[in-house]
Structure 1
Amino acid sequence: MKKAGKSADEKESERRQKAQAKEAEKERKRIEKVRAREERVLQKEKEKALAEVNKLRTDKKVSAPEMIVDIPTSINPALKVQIETLLDELSVQHETWGSTIEHVVKWRRKVTSQFDEEMGIWKPIPMRIQDENHVLVIMQAVEFVQLVLSEETHDLEAHILRMKSSFPGLKLIYLIEGLTSWMRKNRNLLNRQFASAVRNLGAGAEPASSSNQPRRRNNNQLQEYIDEDKIEDALLSLQVLHGTLVHHTNAPVETAQWVTVFTQHISTIPYRRARDASADAGFCMESGQHA
């Protein structure tokens, strides 16, 4: 007996079921593609974020914009303008602050990443402001010499102790402006005094004239030769006994430039340490040695 074929309704029902299944499978694949595409985009965003925080940050141009430079209100206005102008060129933020010790510059950092030691990469974190480990005091040569020659409670030793007390545990930088020029003038004064003494001897030791008397400055202060050994000993004490970095500049514009140089260097320190934590980075500021 011949088996009866499917009715038209049954065939239509099967056709609809197949069409629905095919449509459902098509939708499932579409959803999977969309999900996969979203995951790829998300993965690329993560990779991009990681790449951004893992740029070669030992490059000061990359790391410097993280810094905030706090400039003391006591600083000379012209020098302040010079420093701010140079920092603006580096896209470095700067603010003013009322330091209890005159002319102290300090630094903060906008921290946006944290080093993962296991993976060896920097990972993004919510931004926070963090104090840096260095402070810098700008000192004029005349001020430095006065401290060297002052009484015990107001001398250079007292100044360094105040710095250490005000900024415990931080690395100190003394940026001294004009000391090379001061020492040259001081040496010239000694040479003039010596030449004058020789002339007097050649003239038969006549009574001292006004020419070989200690010269007076325009402000009527007596100008006398200062033993350079005292200045050298004071510089050595700062570096060796107190572990500070001492750097010399010759003019305000050079002082401003070196504030930016130190800013750039400090910005790279954590990245260089992460790159090679076990090795000495070899820069004078980290070891406390004279440049």
Structure 2
Amino acid sequence: MIADLDADFAQSTVGQLVIANFESLGIEVSATWASPLGSMIKWRRKTCAEYNEALGYFVPIPEEIRREPFVFVYTTGVDFVEKVLDQTVDDDLARLGQHFPGMKVIYMIEGLHAFLGKVSATAQRAFASRVQEALGGSQRRRKEPAKAASSKESEVMARLGAQFDTSRALELVDDALLGLQVVHRCHIFHSTIPPDSAEWIAIMTQDMSIMPYRAARVDVNESICMEAGQIKAGADHRGTFQNTLQQLKFFSPAMANSVVNEFKTIDKMMLALGSGGPDRLLRICSNRGRGIGKTLARNLHFAFTSKDPHALLQ
């Protein structure tokens, strides 16, 4: 993978952490790009193999660099709220649509929940102060001073307090987030601090790097999940044979154990099914004295002998 970072974003605290994480993962970094919004990342992929659907596996091709269909936008919670107040969120999305048509936009907003919590706490303190003043000086209680907010946070808080009440301000932010997801189809990630943001960006890039291989392993026309770990393997050949049999519907562990005791290996069972057909299984009884019925015998025979990959068991 090749990550193209905005030149200014690469010089920021988060950008430096992102570059360090990328280098530790072997991801190439290019920081010469001037993005339309700033604090953006786009990705490219070095491709030397391509999945051939007809053959069912990856075939080598001359190496080429392809653009990934994702573009990433990083912003802080304070900056996002400021854009909501300025009503420029939709303008930013329009610019992204012009520069990156057809690409999926990923938004990461750092510290939004913490900032909105400060806004609510400030409003509550102001309300409590007004109530105490109305009750008279004797009812006032001395409190510890609140932690000083940054100049940017104080400015945005002042704008929120001047234009809206707290509940209305929070509704505006929620509406903006919903608009990003519902109207513009953006993916939104929330982070807390710069190291957390950089870690999630690295995880996102790793997931992105294996997407073609995941897609090749999952056939959407089938109801079978091909991810590793879906079926437990046995400790030996016998255990694997028994677990394989139990994947058949209504095939209990006791029945599977009886079949394994009868044939020992899959190869011997295949020879018996080839010569005796489904009726060969009717003579097998489980440890509880229950035999394998005709439907289960037919399904087991069909599952192991059919050559039709699209056939379904009855």
Correspondence for 1:269 among 211, 218, 222: 211
Q: For residue 71 of structure 1, what is the aligned residue in structure 2? A: 5
TM-score by structure 1 length? 0.65
TM-score by structure 2 length? 0.60
**CA-CA distance at 1:77 after TM superposition:** 2.9
SS where residue 130 of structure 1 aligns? strand
SS where residue 123 of structure 1 aligns? strand
Deviations 1:111-162 (A, max 9, x none): 01011112211011110000001110001111101110114xxx11111111
Q: For residue 93 of structure 1, what is the aligned residue in structure 2? A: 28
Correspondence for 1:241 among 172, 183, 197: 183
Q: For residue 121 of structure 1, what is the aligned residue in structure 2? A: 57
Distance 2:44 2:219 in 1: 22
Distance 2:149 2:135 in 1: 25
Q: For residue 37 of structure 1, what is the aligned residue in structure 2? A: none
Unaligned runs of 5+ residues in structure 2 are: 138-147, 226-314
Tell me which amino acid in the other structure corresponds to 1:180: H
Larger Rg: 1
**CA-CA distance at 1:197 after TM superposition:** 2.0
1:109 aligns with 2:51: no
The percent identity for this pair of structures is 31
Q: For residue 150 of structure 1, what is the aligned residue in structure 2? A: 86
Correspondence for 2:174 among 214, 228, 232: 232
Unaligned runs of 5+ residues in structure 1 are: 1-66, 205-214, 283-291
Q: For residue 260 of structure 1, what is the aligned residue in structure 2? A: 202
Tell me which amino acid in the other structure corresponds to 2:214: R
1:162 aligns with 2:95: yes
Q: CA RMSD in A?
A: 2.3
**CA-CA distance at 1:172 after TM superposition:** 0.4
- State the number of aligned residues: 202
Contact 2:36 2:95 in 1 (8 A): no
Distance 1:71 1:248 in 2: 20
SS where residue 74 of structure 1 aligns? helix
**CA-CA distance at 1:185 after TM superposition:** 0.4
Distance 2:73 2:65 in 1: 22
**CA-CA distance at 1:259 after TM superposition:** 1.3
**CA-CA distance at 1:167 after TM superposition:** 0.7
**CA-CA distance at 1:261 after TM superposition:** 1.1
Contact 2:75 2:108 in 1 (8 A): yes
Deviations 1:231-264 (A, max 9, x none): 1111011011111001111111111111111111
Distance 1:121 1:262 in 2: 25
Distance 2:207 2:149 in 1: 43
SS where residue 213 of structure 2 aligns? helix
